[in-house]
Amino acid sequence: MTSKNKVKYRGSLLLNTVLSAAAALAAEVALLLNSKLADVILCQFGFQGSVASLSGEYNAPLIFVYLLIGICVFAFVFGMLQHRTLKYTRKISASLQEISEGHFNTRIPVRGDNELSDIAMQVNHMAEEIEQLLEKEKQAEETKNELITNIAHDLRTPLTSILGYLDILSMRKDLPEETRQNYIRIAHDKAKHLQQMIEDLFGFTKLSYSKQTTNMQPIDIITLLAQLLDEFYPVFENNEMDYEYHPDASNFVIQGDATLLVRLFDNLINNAIKYGKEGKLLIVKTRTQKEAITVDIINFGKVIPQKDLDRVFEKFYRAESSRNSATGGTGLGLAIAANVARIHGGSIAAKSSLEGTVFSVMLPSTHEENIEDDNHAKQEVSDES
């Protein structure tokens, strides 16, 4: 509540008091000056004579009546002047009663510029905050139910397959060795898939619903990406893919958690291989600036429709064409990547066209050595040319 509005409200109250007192005084003076009128009024109350007799003595009952008349005039005038304020106060009181009964969409109209209007604004703000908290609680409950539903759906499928193959292996003793080994391999792959889904689930819940303890330290993103791509070499070979790495600087240091950053780029590269392997090529390139680095991971698989592209970072979201046993994951990989980027003060975006699907990760940095290294790298490029 501002001091300006306090002064306005108290000034208005003082003015109404002075006006009411002036009206009461004027009524008293009018009665005293017009003795006949006073006598008529006093006779109505059963009194005879004037306030002061000829002998100079005062008539106490008559003085009391005069005072009573003055008080009545004061109360009437003050009530009339304060009528709007009293009506507004009752409106505030009624609104507070509605809010206390659970009608949090109730709002008080803000009138004037005084203490009462400040109270109305504060009550409206309180009701709005309560309404938002209830909405968040409702969304949290819906998210929890969605989480349970999706977990049940995604874990049931591989688990059912594992149990099915194990039942066949235990009951069919006459299976050919080749078939037996094939079933064991499938069950093993399903178990690994199930393990990955559980790890994704734990990782996502840890990042989203609990306080994540991060181990921030200087990390060279250029080197980290090079090492990670080297580790993916067998995966590229198995999927008959090639990869290209095009860093635009020799190094770029940020403050980050190495484990989380590896998780971020691991998820993005895995996603690019899973859905872009038919394009036979994955490209990783960096774009360094003074205080940030952007990493582009590009694949040349099918174009992602805009309706799916707008939601790829939502938890559990997967395009329907991708929900199959060969490629379908938990739908948490990209959501985890987005959370990791957010934890590091960065952002992640995606775009898809006939020229390729690009996932871009922006990570900020305040390391001064990046500027020196960038200038040095540019100088080397200039010397080579």
Q: Could you tell me the pLDDT band of residue 75, with boundaries at 50, 70 and 90?
A: confident
Per the DSSP assignment, residues forming a β-bridge with 116 are none
Q: Could you tell me the pLDDT band of residue 355, with boundaries at 50, 70 and 90?
A: confident
Model pLDDT for residues 175-229, shown as the tens digit of each residue: 888 888 888 888 888 887 777 777 767 666 666 655 556 778 898 999 999 999 9
Q: Is the pLDDT of residue 128 over 90?
A: no
Query: How far apart (Å, rounded) are the C-alpha atoms in residues 347 and 293?
Result: 11
Query: How far apart (Å, rounded) are the C-alpha atoms in residues 174 and 321?
Result: 38
Which residue is associated with the tokens 């990782």? Answer: 203
Q: Is the pLDDT of residue 40 over 80?
A: no
Between 114 and 190, where is the model more confident?
A: 190
Per the DSSP assignment, residues forming a β-bridge with 349 are 360
Q: Is the pLDDT of residue 380 over 90?
A: no
Q: Which of 322, 328, 230 is nearest to 284 (CA)?
A: 230
Query: What domains lie within the chain, and their CATH numbers?
Result: 3-131 (no CATH), 150-209 (1.10.287.130), 217-384 (3.30.565.10)
In the predicted model, what is the mean pLDDT of residues 234-255? 89
Q: Is the pLDDT of residue 295 over 90?
A: yes
> Whole-model pTM?
0.52
Q: Could you tell me the pLDDT band of residue 360, with boundaries at 50, 70 and 90?
A: very high
Which residue type is seen at 23? A
DSSP-derived 3-state class of residue 356? strand
Between 10 and 310, where is the model more confident?
A: 310
Question: Of the ranges 156-160, 241-245, 274-278, 347-351, which one carries the lowest mean pLDDT score?
Answer: 156-160
Q: Is the pLDDT of residue 108 over 60?
A: yes
Tokens of 107: 């709002």
pLDDT mean across residues, the chain: 75
DSSP 49: S
Looking at residue 71, what is its pLDDT? 79
DSSP-derived 3-state class of residue 210? coil
Tokens of 33: 């000056």
Looking at residue 381, what is its pLDDT? 41
Looking at residue 284, what is its pLDDT? 92
Q: Is the pLDDT of residue 373 over 60?
A: no
What lies within 8 Å, CB to CB, of 49 at 6+ separation is: 39, 42, 59, 62
Question: What percent of the chain is predicted at pLDDT more than 90?
Answer: 9
Looking at residue 245, what is its pLDDT? 93
Sort residue 46 into left (φ over 0), alpha (ψ -120 to 50) or beta.
Answer: left
CA dihedral 162, 164, 168, 169 (to 10 degrees): 10
Residue 29 CB burial class (10 angstroms; 0-12, 13-18, ≥19)? exposed
For the four alpha carbons of 73, 76, 82 and 86, in that order, the dihedral sign comes to positive
Model pLDDT for residues 271-285, shown as the tens digit of each residue: 888 888 888 899 999
Query: How far apart (Å, rounded) are the C-alpha atoms in residues 333 and 321?
Result: 17
Q: Is the pLDDT of residue 325 over 80?
A: no
Which residue type is seen at 315? K
Looking at residue 384, what is its pLDDT? 44
Looking at residue 9, what is its pLDDT? 61
In the predicted model, what is the mean pLDDT of residues 374-379? 49
For the four alpha carbons of 21, 24, 26 and 28, in that order, the dihedral sign comes to negative
Q: Could you tell me the pLDDT band of residue 147, with boundaries at 50, 70 and 90?
A: low
